[in-house]
Structure 1
Amino acid sequence: MNNMKKGDHKLIQALNRSKVLNKIRTDGPISRIELAKKNKLSPSTVASAVQELIKEGYVSEIGTGSSSGGRKPILLQFNPDNHYLFAVAITNSFLNLAQMNLEARVLRKETYPIEGLQGNAVIERLLELMDDFTAGAEDLERCVGISLTVPGIVSDSQGVLHYNTKLRMTDVPLRQILEDRYGMRTWVENDMNSVVLAERRFGDYAFGNLIYISIGDGLGSGILINDSLLRGKHGGAGEFGHTSVNRSGIRCECGNVGCLDSYISWIAVYSRIITAIATGRPTLIQELSGGDYSKIVPSVYKEALCRGDKLAMDLNEEVAEHLGAAIVNLVNMFNPEALVLGGEMAHGNPELLAMVRKYMDRHAMPILKDDMVFGLASLGEDDKLIGAASVLLQDLFGFTLTE
């Protein structure tokens, strides 16, 4: 029985410490007295948490605040640069590694193409790169851990990637592999879940009911409800690309028919561009890629859009129609405060946003859409790395709901 109590006490201490650290981070510089008041904790609980945090370098004391008579209080502030974390963002085409501070700022990063590797070979390559990357870091004891994100169906509690069709990875115990090799605490999360957290914490969308949709190689979404990630039983919630938009459509590798993925992902748009060029339809894309099909990438498509290319504009409109229909379903079902569009098809494509908005205005329920914030992703090209950092920092700080 005593052991049980001891364990509980340890847990409560850790939670209080997270609370105190988070308050110093959000409201600092702040005095110990204020901390006790704002967190509804006893002064002695705050004092011992602060003492530990100072000793470990998370917090430092700075000058004095103004006092209402009596001694001036010493103020505490958060030190984001005293520790760091390793972020790993696996996508279906790249391995991204970064060292980041505790405010999710990138200190150094490296990006490597996956180049058709699948299954075990992806892990072997990752560990090779991680060995070099961690060797290049000083003071490993100042590292709070490793956070890894990957597309696919992920169990965050077990740290296992259950399923990723494109990389052919099934039931890979990523957390265990990394913890065994580097002896550091490791977090594993789905990439879309991590980016919705990042947009909430570090981006322009500080809403507890938030949906993030990404259009790139494939389609994904991250869904926050009352500040909690919607995961589903197996970590498979948010497989937005595999919602069906056409019952008499193309058969998808997931087993369904007419999946959104087959109509609006970059892969789908790319194959339409190739077909158009092959059938002799004039387009700037042909010229911009120098006639080399392998050079037709999203940035070329967006360049053609900017220059008013008819094919690119037609395809963008088609994407907007399908995407609009799917988004209306989400809005009517989840009634989010905000909905964010990201991924390489959306970055730098404001026309897409405008057309989807127009579609929503026509088709979503007025009460649900009228005050919903709708915009493009705000975190730029490091969004997946900031996402990985957010997963770890969320745990470290125990972010509270009512921030």
Structure 2
Amino acid sequence: MKRTGDLQLIKELNKSIILDIIRKNGPISRAEIAKKINISPTTVTSAVSDLIRDSLVIEGGTGESSGGRKPILVQLNPDVCFLIGVAIDASKITIAELNLNAKVKRKEVHTLKDTEDLDLSNELIEMINVFFKKCKNLNDCLGISITIQGIVNSEQGMVAYNPKLKINNLPLKSAIEAAFKIPTYIDNDTNGSLLAEKGFGNYQQSKNLIYVTIGDGVGASILVNDSIFRGFHGGAGEFGHTTINYKGAPCNCGNVGCLENYVSWRAIYSRIVSEINAGKESLLVEEVKGDLSKITPELFRKTIYSGDALANSILEDVSFYLGIGLVNLIHLFNPERIILGGELAFENPLLIQKVNEHIYSYALKTHTHNVKVFPSSFGNDSEVVGSASLLLHELFHFTLK
């Protein structure tokens, strides 16, 4: 005999699945929902009534009749409430207000100038508090979703390890929930980006995906048979700390010759400055009027397409090293496709092209048939859409184990 708790769990799960069907297919009739997920019309009607009561779903319009009355259609009410997405990396914190379709309504970027003595919990609480003051009604806030680089124990809400911000075992989830009394979710940044692609992006049908992000750091999230592969301690996907040169420069993780030392923005910026100071000419000097501290990933991408020799030389090397790493991932996980996101991949089709060329040249042909590297679906908003997707995955229960 089923316990009451089990029945309630099934009911809530059904409601989440039905809500996701409405989100993806609305306006849709109750009968069509029942057909799509093969559950009884009575169960669908009950769940839809609950969702209408909670204002998550609204009725609107009528469908085609199959002999009787025309069915009333239902659809998602995306702006009935909002959520806060927070994306943290080594140089900035991005905070955004998003609706239930993961659409960014408002966004702020805060630069982290001094991370040496950073108290991340208190810094973040202050930023969110200021951000909340511009929100209309905090009672409409579903929750706060946070993504951060490094190793994250999502179940415990703990940032286990982040070498760039010098974090070890930080209970960030409990600190934020104590401050705001709002449900808070936390995970690794690339896991969030992968959830975004599965829930809202262009690659929802893929069951074996790898999402790679390149910005301040380099990370990967791996989807195997529709499940995120997290590893034993939640540390899977530290792609940037795979070694490609045992005689290379020391990395802040304690190893040497890590991939991150060759393809991350910090590595690229360091090389740009070094080569310009050594006498290399570059359009970047003109762009920043000689102040090299003002060189950004955006300017780097811009000068690539302006034909700058230095920028294109660096891009060639980045593509080569990144390609080496991606070939290894392809051989290990045999994905359907790889998605490349982050500041350096945004609006950078030449990088995508060169990496694909490397893969086709060096990976096993059995593994590259119909396999390709694609850009992120969300462009410059990919970080905060990824953050928001932690909460939205719980709400909608979109297809992902």
Task: With the length of structure 1 as denominator, give the TM-score of the two structures.
Answer: 0.93
* 8 Å CA contact 2:22, 2:74 repeated in 1: yes
Equivalent AA in structure 2 for residue 175 of structure 1: K
Counterpart amino acid of 2:20? N
Partner of 1:316: 315
Say which SS state the counterpart of residue 108 (structure 1) adopts. strand
1:282 has 2:277 as partner: no
14-23 or 194-203, which deviates more: 194-203
Equivalent position of 2:373 in the other structure: 374
Per-residue CA deviations over 1:39-91 (Å, capped at 9, x if unaligned) read: 22233322221111111001112233222223332222211111211111112
2:13 paired residue number: 15
146-155 or 119-128, which deviates more? 119-128
Superposition map of 1:97-176 within 5 A: 97-118=95-116, 121-176=119-174
Please, which moves more after superposition, 361-370 or 283-292?
Answer: 283-292
Note the C-alpha offset of 1:319.
Answer: 1.2
Counterpart in the other structure of 1:384: 383
Alignment partners' CA distance in 1, 2:308 and 2:209: 34
Q: Secondary structure at the match of 2:119?
A: helix
Tell me by how many angstroms 1:314 deviates: 1.7
Q: Deviations over 1:238-278 (max 9, x none)?
A: 11110011122222222322111112212222222222222
Deviation per CA, 1:91-128: give whole Å up to 9, x if none. Answer: 21112111111000112222211221356522212111
What are the equivalent positions in structure 2 for 1:106-255 lying under 5 Å apart?
106-118=104-116, 121-206=119-204, 207-255=206-254
Equivalents in 1 of 2:11, 2:196: separation in Å?
27
Farther off after superposition, 62-71 or 178-187? 62-71
How far, CA to CA, are the matches of 1:23 and 1:202 in structure 2? 13
C-alpha distance in 1 between matches for 2:291 and 2:311: 17
The Cα shift of 1:285 comes to: 2.8
State the identity as a percent. Answer: 46
Using structure 2 for the length normalisation, give the TM-score: 0.94
C-alpha separation in 2, matches of 1:378 and 1:40:
30
* Cα shift at 1:192: 0.8
Cα distance per residue 1:350-377 (max 9 Å; x no partner): 2222222221121111121130132222
Gap change, CA 1:175 and 1:363, over 3 Å in 2 = same
The residue type paired with residue 221 of structure 2 is G
In structure 1, what is the Cα distance between the partners aligned to 2:218 and 2:32?
A: 45
The Cα shift of 1:136 comes to: 2.6
Aligned residue number for residue 75 of structure 1: 73
* Aligned residues of 1:119 and 1:169 also touching (Cα < 8 A): no
Deviation of the 1:286 alpha carbon: 2.9
CA distance in 1, matches of 2:7, 2:199: 29
Aligned-pair CA distance for 1:345: 2.0
3-state SS of the aligned residue for 2:55? coil
How do residues 338-349 of structure 1 correspond to structure 2 at under 5 angstroms? 338-349=337-348
Give the secondary structure class of the aligned counterpart of 1:15.
helix
Higher mean Cα deviation, 296-305 or 164-173? 296-305
Corresponding residue of 1:396 = 395
Q: For 1:46, which of 35, 44, 47 is the aligned residue? A: 44
Give the match's secondary structure for 2:73: strand
Structure 1 residues 304 and 167 mapped into 2: Cα distance closer, same or farther (>3 Å)?
same
Cα distance change on mapping 1:259 and 1:69 into 2, 3 Å: same
For the structure 1 residues 33 and 124, does the alpha-carbon distance in structure 2 shift closer, same or farther, using more than 3 Å as the test? same
Distance across 1 between alignment mates of 2:263 and 2:61: 56
SS at match of 2:357: helix
- The answer as to whether partners of 1:242 and 1:254 remain within 8 angstroms in 2 is yes
Structure 2 CA distance, aligned partners of 1:8 and 1:41? 17
Task: Report the alpha carbon displacement of residue 401 of structure 1 after superposing the two structures with TM.
Answer: 5.1
Q: CA deviation at 1:133?
A: 1.9
* Residue type at the aligned position of 1:62: G
Aligned to 1:27: 25
Give the CA RMSD over aligned residues.
2.0
**Which residue identity is paired with 1:360?**
I
CA contact (8 A) 2:284 2:299 kept: yes
- Residue aligned with 1:294, SS: helix
Runs of 4+ in 1 over 3 A off after TM superposition: 117-120
Gap runs ≥5 in structure 1: none
Q: CA deviation at 1:219?
A: 1.0
Classify the secondary structure of the residue corresponding to 2:223: strand
1:95 maps to a residue whose letter is I
Letter aligned with residue 9 of structure 1: L
Retained in 1: the 8 A contact 2:199–2:398? no
